[in-house]
Amino acid sequence: MSGPAPAATTAKAPANHKKALRTVTIISTFGGLLFGYDTGVINGALPYMQEDLGLTPLTEGLVTSSLLFGAAFGALFGGRLADRNGRRTMIMVLAVIFLLGTLACTFAPNTEVMIAARFVLGLAVGGASVTVPVYLAEVSPSARRGRIVTQNELMIVTGQLLAFIFNAYLGNTFGEAGGIWRWMLVIATLPAIALWIGMNFMPESPRWLASMGSFGETLSVLQRIRSQADARAEFEEVKAMAVEDYKSKMGSWADLGIPWLRRIFCVGLGLAVIQQITGVNSIMYYGTQILAESGFGREAALTANIANGVISVLATFVGIWLLGRAGRRRMLITGQVGTTSALVLIGLFSLILPEGPARGFVILSLTVTFLAFQQGAISPVTWLMLSEIFPLKMRGLGMGASAFVLWIVNFLVGFGFPQLLAALGLSNTFFLFAVLGVGAIAFAAKYVPETKDKSLEDLEHYFKTMAGKRPQEAITGKA
């Protein structure tokens, strides 16, 4: 049942298992860095593309959202391919797609080629959004899983911040030069190469190896990234769950006929939707345009938009700290209340204040506040919970389907925002997002369970036990 072990998983365990785990985390989250850079760079590149490629509001939305449409399919199929071929192998394939997609975007001669190239790049972004959090969840000890998995979210927002900084520097320094947006895009080739090289030396997920029946390799990997005592104890737990699930290790849509699996699946889809309907990516993709319309000039808006990236990184640090101390569910609901309140205020002040620098700074302060709640609570909790709520046999399918829905909603926001802005104006567009935010709060309060301080195997047993209980009992875990 178990074939020859890859060299990366059979190497002698290093003496310092904490350093080994830290290295695995850093290298694999370059996938998150690419995710962030490739989604954030369009924010500053788009105004220059408009001139060079002659974009209209429709084609502007298509260029932005084609990556998101591709990401939906990358997420849907990426999870299944990672189930079949391994998490590590899938991340290496994604690194190659990141590189090729970036080069295609950089040298795109017209709008049609740019849209197609962004779709290909989106396949890698979507695949990374599924595979990297699952890989991190499966290599992490349960006590540190929240902090380790959310480091991917930190790398995502760091990638977006780097995109904003490079955009501002290149736009303000070389903005008059033709095709400056191509230089903004091509920078992403560097982390793609680093990801591919680094993953050659990383181990495969021990839980995936166990699901394939490769128990010797499972123990070898655990001994590489755990103390000897912890490796042996965790190995017994992982092995027992893998044996239990082995006959049905590749979950299918037919498994949704089982009530407890269907419930988890629906919660996962709901988490994906409510993370996006806050409208966060209207700010991450069109922040420069929003600030320009609020009262900043184009170059000033590029610089001011860096504040959105800075607060996203700082808030994610706070979110990682909070995950070790607060419940996931409480953080999610608090974040939704905060973002919805900020959306209402953005709508109000953009309505009542006259256009000019004062309104620009007010809107900037409110987008910063919005992102503090989004990136400090909603985003890290969403990706963490999606990586941990699904049982082993359904993890690839469940995570893939949830991420597919997340990226489709993201696509709709990215595609529709320029047209909403043109049709409704700034204030009414944000009021619309605020209404959706109220629905998100209601969903989180009623259906999202608590998952803090439970191993992945504990969670599977927990959901099975809760399946026969009423919704509120399933949320609290109390009869």
Q: Which long-range contacts (CB under 8 A, 24 or more apart) does 188-194 make?
A: 188/34, 188/37, 188/38, 188/41, 188/98, 188/102, 189/99, 189/102, 189/103, 191/30, 191/33, 191/34, 191/37, 191/98, 191/159, 192/34, 192/95, 192/96, 192/98, 192/99, 192/102, 193/95, 193/99, 194/30
Q: Is residue 1 part of a domain?
A: no
In the structure encoding, which two tokens stand for residue 342, read together? 């900020």
Q: Is residue 4 part of a domain?
A: no
Is residue 249 scored above 60 in pLDDT? no
Compute the half-sphere exposure of residue 364: CA atoms within 13 Å on the CB side of its CA.
25
Q: Which of 150, 225, 208, 196 is nearest to 30 (CA)?
A: 196
Specify the pLDDT at position 477: 46
pLDDT tens column, 265-285: 888 999 999 999 888 878 877
**Using CA atoms, how far apart are residues 460 and 206, in angstroms rounded to an integer?**
17
Write out the residue range of the structural domain in which residue 96 sits: 18-476
Q: Which of 373, 387, 345, 351 is nearest to 440 (CA)?
A: 373
Q: Is residue 13 part of a domain?
A: no
Q: Which of 179, 205, 170, 238 is nearest to 48 (CA)?
A: 179
pLDDT tens column, 49-64: 887 888 887 888 889 8
pLDDT tens column, 288-338: 778 887 777 777 888 888 888 899 899 988 888 887 788 888 999 999 999
Q: Which of 33, 35, 443, 390 is nearest to 277 (CA)?
A: 443
Q: Is residue 460 part of a domain?
A: yes
Tell me the chain's radius of gyration from C-alpha atoms.
Answer: 22
Compute how many other C-beta atoms are within 10 angstroms of the C-beta atom of residue 44: 28
Give 378's DSSP letter: I
pLDDT tens column, 391-412: 767 777 787 788 889 889 988 8
Q: Is residue 437 part of a domain?
A: yes
pLDDT tens column, 168-215: 899 888 877 778 999 999 999 999 999 999 999 999 988 888 888 788
Q: Is residue 247 part of a domain?
A: yes
Read off the pLDDT band of 244 (50, 70, 90).
low
**Using CA atoms, how far apart are residues 66 and 75, in angstroms rounded to an integer?**
14
Q: Is residue 188 part of a domain?
A: yes
- CATH of residue 306's domain is 1.20.1250.20
Q: Is residue 335 part of a domain?
A: yes
In the structure encoding, which two tokens stand for residue 375, read together? 């990136």
Is residue 124 scored above 90 in pLDDT? yes
Residue 217 phi/psi, 5-degree rounding, is -70, -35
Instruction: Specify the number of domains making up the chain.
Output: 1
**Using CA atoms, how far apart are residues 345 and 337, in angstroms rounded to an integer?**
13
Residue with tokens 């985003």: 379
